[in-house]
Amino acid sequence: MNNNLEHQTEILAGPILRHVSSAQLTLWLVTRQPICAELVIKEQSKQLFSADLKPDNCSSIQVGEQCFIHHIDVHFEQPLPQDTLLSYDLLFQAALGQNPESKVNLKQLVPELCYQDQECVTFTIASEIKSLMHGSCRKPHHNQDDALAVLDDKLAVVADDATQRPAMLILSGDQVYVDDVAGPMLSVIHQVMDELGLYEESWQGTEINDTQELLTSDKCYYYREALLPDDKASQKVLDLVFLGARKPIFTSVGAHNHLITLSEMLAMYLLVWSPTLWKKVNLNLLKPQLPAEFNARFDDEAKCIERFVDTLPKVRRALAHIPTYMIFDDHDVTDDWNLTRGWEEAAYGNPYSKRIIGNALIAYWLCQGWGNQKQNFDILAEKIADKFTPQGVVEHDTVVDNILDWPHWHFYLDTKPKVLVLDTRTHRWRSESNANKPSGLMDWETLSELQSELINEPSVIMVSPAPVFGVKLIEAIQAIFTFFGKPLVVDAENWMAHKGSASVILNIFRHAKTPPHFVILSGDVHYSFAYDVTLRFRRNSPRILQVTASGLKNAFPDTLIRRLDKINRALYSHRSPLNWFTKRRQMSVKRRLIKQNGEIKDDAVLFNHAAIGEVIMADNIDDVVVKVHTSDGREVEFD
């Protein structure tokens, strides 16, 4: 292939298949240069659709001298067929100076993108969700392997069988860890910024005021806590939040390399979803410049990241072949994001911390949110897309203000069953009595909207990043710390932590017109479990299945989770009187036990290993199959 042509059409990340229906298809793609291409959709050899990419069906945002993020969104006058194997391809025009009729397709550019002997990327549009995959919490430098790569193994087996493919992949939070970054990863991020000319920025509220000052600071690596704001000008707020203790606004224990600039965050996305740019960087470039005290840590992180990079081709291929939906949780922005009213007052009252949070949300919009249902973001795009210019982002603070004010991150899919994906971060039910109390995960207005979407549905799949029905012992521990004014110490954000939101969500389940069948998908907690829930003392109770799969590349401390699991089963058994002291006293919760190799070996309920979840639907909730597939090759069922 001619080098000029290859460079002209270099795909840096993607394509990722996003929202898909018979009437619409959305792709996310990042290239080094602007693109001139044609989208073609086929059923076997029969062409069903083709269209040149133009501004009305391809929104392109320039984020660097050589980096363009594209959201391809096409609508079909003739609906695409369901439950059959379809394919899509992008035909890119030749580079300048080449034959204008010469085109290059996806497989030519990325040969490893297709399965087996297939010539194009394939997908299906399910008329009914019979099975799906889900997961959360994917930290590149965690010491276990990436379970998202397991999805590729599963799709490879059914590559030619439309009926056996999962209907979709749902990622329920912490797709990236903006607040917990390894030293080698941060070094590579900065190399990518230089390689692509990602835009620099300047800000207010700190002694270091722009990208270059940040990159040349002696605190750029492993010392970023000293660069993050602690809002010293607002001690009154800090007194409320931290009971007088001097503590940063950014509370992540891994904040030593917390990302700050928009370009750092965009580079992170390119590196966690594609292997392309890893071929152009040096993972160990930073090590000779570090103090000796960091050598062992750097080496350990580099080994984990090397294994992470090895499986990225599989991750990239899987994400190209399955409709993928995403919602944020805290680490996509920062740990404890909007946990309490006091935290919000401190964070958004400081221009520097506001910029960091805003940058993370801008990156989420460009790389995750916009693809869920692109038309939902038309008004937002009209306000801020033109601020991304060839010279850089103009009116950056205005972009941040608009992104922080945006109220529609949640979304609903008109599938069978209906899928409702909740934003549990930006519509918090804030405490009026005490700024230090945890906020409710959703406020009354958004919970009311949720109820209106649920009424009279025969069954629903509801995605809540945090489990609605969690581990009672852990919630009790969080309540104790909250009582003593320390909710941030134990990450005390669960549905039961706020009286108002707990009452409303439980009343939704008790409503006479609520769906008789609920499947709730969650993540967040770094362990996996499944609970069957019904209403006590009600003959025709809705059947609720809480399914939690976490994390894709993260896990809870193993010894601690085994102890918590054992104590929780002892104290909060199905018939334990302690249940009557919880907010869910009117709900009967039965735990599914862990089955491996067809056998239940003990009474363990909480499974702790990097894994991706699978749910196989059924008419009867009792027959819904819940599995996780671990990154080390095991299949675990909750029975």
Task: Specify burial of residue 296 (Cβ count, 10 A radius: 0-12, 13-18, 19+).
Answer: exposed
- How many angstroms separate the CA atoms of 419 and 459, rounded? 9
pLDDT digits (tens, 9 = 90+) for 531-541: 999 998 888 88
pTM: 0.93
- Distance CA(170)–CA(151), nearest Å, equals 12
pLDDT at 1: 35
pLDDT digits (tens, 9 = 90+) for 281-300: 999 999 999 999 999 999 99
| Position 5 pLDDT exceeds 50 | no
Q: Which strand (E) or helix (H) includes residue 164?
A: none
Residue type present at position 298:
F
C-alpha span between 387 and 436 (Å, rounded): 37
Q: Which has the higher per-residue pLDDT, 101 or 128?
A: 128
Highest mean pLDDT among 95-99, 404-408, 493-497, 600-604: 404-408
> Radius of gyration (Cα) for the chain, nearest Å?
24
Q: Over the stretch 488-517, which tens digit does the pLDDT of each residue have? A: 555 667 888 788 999 999 999 988 899 999
Structure confidence by residue, pLDDT tens digits, 438-481: 899 999 999 999 999 999 999 999 999 999 998 878 777 777 66
In this prediction, residue 359 carries a pLDDT of 98
As a whole number, the mean pLDDT across the chain is 90
Q: Which residue would you say has higher pLDDT here, 486 or 219?
A: 219
Helical H segments across 224-350, by residue range: 235-242, 262-273, 295-310, 312-321, 341-348
pLDDT, average across residues 229-255 = 53
Query: What are the tokens at 444?
Result: 């009354």
Who's near 560: CB < 8 A, 6+ residues apart?
A: none
Predicted confidence band at 120 (pLDDT cuts at 50, 70, 90)? very high
pLDDT reading at 583 higher than 70: yes
For residues 625 and 637, give the distance between their C-alpha atoms in angstroms, rounded to a whole number.
8
The residue among 37, 39, 51, 43 whose CA lies nearest residue 8 is: 37
Confidence of residue 485 (pLDDT cuts 50, 70, 90): low
Do 277 and 271 form a contact (C-beta atoms < 8 A)?
A: yes
Position 319, amino acid:
L
Q: Of 336-350, 456-470, 477-491, 580-594, which gets the smallest average pLDDT?
A: 477-491
Name the E strands within 159-295.
169-171
CA distances from 520 to 79, 134, 280, 597 (A): 30, 11, 41, 26
Torsion angle, alpha carbons of 23, 28, 33, 37, to 10: -20
SS3 state of residue 128: coil
pLDDT band at 521 (very low <50, low <70, confident <90, very high): very high
Task: Report pLDDT for 436.
Answer: 84
Rounded CA-CA distance 547/612 in Å is 12
Q: How far apart are the first and last CA of the chain?
A: 53
Which range (158-167, 324-333, 510-519, 597-606) has the least confidence? Answer: 597-606
Give the pLDDT band (50/70/90) at residue 575. confident
pLDDT at 483: 53
Both tokens assigned to 337: 């994001």
pLDDT of residue 598: 82
- Write out the H or E segment, with its range, that includes residue 12: strand 11-21
pLDDT beyond 80 at 247: no
Confidence of residue 2 (pLDDT cuts 50, 70, 90): very low
Strands 67-75 and 86-93: unpaired
Residue with the two structure tokens 């004014």: 485
